[in-house]
Amino acid sequence: MGLLIEGRWHDQWYDTSKDGRFRREQAQRRNWITPDGSPGPGDTGGFAAETGRYHLYVSLACPWAHRTLILRRLKGLEALIGVSVVGWLMGEHGWTFDPQYGSTGDALDGFDYLHQRYTADDPAYTGRVTVPLLWDRQLERIVNNESAEIIRMLNSAFDGLTGSRLDFYPAPLRGEIDALNARIYPNVNNGVYRAGFATTQAAYEEAFDRLFAELDVLETLLGERRYLAGEYLTEADWRLFTTLIRFDAVYHGHFKCNLRRIVDYPNLSGWLRELYQWPGVAGTVNFTHIKSHYYASHRTINPTGIVPKGPALDLDRPHDRAHLPGRGVWERPGAYRGESVRPAQRSPGP
Ligand SMILES: N[C@@H](CCC(=O)N[C@@H](CS)C(=O)NCC(=O)O)C(=O)O
């Protein structure tokens, strides 16, 4: 675990010396892939959606990277965007491509360490070396290393190539989705880390209380709604899913988030099982990477590195969510590639 300072790797743990609180560094590369390479929010453009041009670097342990893998799968992008998986052990060199820890290797350059990918972008890079990372093979640059933005790109930029109409961020639901994300990110997604990486009792308890207060709110919400934003499954669900799927196996014990387990919440656990059973999703969940990574890598909080054998999880059990009205994923209007628009869908002529 460490970071790059002016292109040189330094092995050091997070600095919580100010007040015991863990603070996550802002992602530094924020370019956008767009259908035609026109500028995205805050960039100058040049990143057009193309088959084979972009490559995704992920850890199967990481909840932020997991979001991008799910969107890649559900949006039918596996043949268009390649993936390299880092090993689950994050040790003195940070993320590595060591096959001993389940890495696929770096498919592009055969690098040993992920930090080499960052210095390939900028030989003087300063900052943490995180996954996910989206790489542009043509410009040899990092497009983006912020998962919240990568999933937005995957949701729409490649639709002209894939013909996918599935929309996990539909315009009419954006206000609702943004409001959910704004609460769930600090309290739950990052909240479990704020509890687990806290180095004072007060910082831990503050994160713990906010986390479980938010889970109570979400439990009530999911008693009324099939999905977080209502009848449609959206990105807000996938963003929460990647945290909650790790909760009982890791955060409950390793990060001391142990007031309750997800399995103790009837609505959250049913919702979690429905999402886990969503076609294609279980294949993106790897509990060997998840458990081994956290317990073996974070030696400051688990010095022996012993990985617990449990818990027994029963994610294939029926989800019991069908009593709530659900419409699945929103579909944008329009024709699939190669399919003509049916006359009934054309606007009436004069
Ligand atoms: N804001 C980033 C956060 C990514 C992140 O922190 N990833 C973790 C793995 S779960 C990481 O690579 N940490 C390495 C480090 O902090 O040194 C995102 O959501 O994409």
Q: Is 64 in the pocket of ligand 1 (CB under 6 A)?
A: yes
Give, using CA atoms, the residue closest to atom 8 of ligand 1: 130
Q: Is 196 in the pocket of ligand 1 (CB under 6 A)?
A: no
pLDDT, position 15: 82
Q: Is 82 in the pocket of ligand 1 (CB under 6 A)?
A: no
Instruction: Catalogue the active-site residues.
Output: 62, 193
Q: Is 132 in the pocket of ligand 1 (CB under 6 A)?
A: yes
pLDDT, position 241: 99
The atom number, within ligand 1, closest to the CA of 147 reads: 20
Q: What is the pLDDT along the chain (350 residues), one digit of tens a residue?
A: 799 999 999 998 878 888 889 888 899 999 999 999 999 988 889 999 999 999 999 999 999 999 999 999 999 999 999 999 999 999 999 999 999 999 999 999 999 999 999 999 999 999 999 999 999 999 999 999 999 999 999 999 999 999 999 999 999 999 999 999 999 999 999 999 999 999 999 999 999 999 999 999 999 999 999 999 999 999 999 999 999 999 999 999 999 999 999 999 999 999 999 999 999 999 999 999 999 999 999 999 999 999 999 999 999 999 999 999 999 999 999 755 444 433 333 333 33
- pTM for this entry: 0.94
Q: Is 149 in the pocket of ligand 1 (CB under 6 A)?
A: no
Report the separation in Å between the CA atom of 170 and the middle of ligand 1, taken as the mean of its atom positions.
27
Q: Is 147 in the pocket of ligand 1 (CB under 6 A)?
A: yes
Distance in angstroms (rounded) separating the CA atoms of residues 55 and 78: 10
Write down the ipTM of this complex: 0.98
What does the chain come to in residues? 350
The atom number, within ligand 1, closest to the CA of 64 reads: 19
Q: Is 27 in the pocket of ligand 1 (CB under 6 A)?
A: yes
Give, using CA atoms, the residue closest to atom 14 of ligand 1: 130
Report the separation in Å between the CA atom of 279 and the middle of ligand 1, taken as the mean of its atom positions.
27
The atom number, within ligand 1, closest to the CA of 145 reads: 20
User: Which of 131, 192, 292 should be mutated for ligand 1, with most atoms under 8 A from CB?
Assistant: 131
Report the separation in Å between the CA atom of 302 and the middle of ligand 1, taken as the mean of its atom positions.
19
pLDDT, position 345: 34
Q: Is 128 in the pocket of ligand 1 (CB under 6 A)?
A: yes
The atom number, within ligand 1, closest to the CA of 90 reads: 14
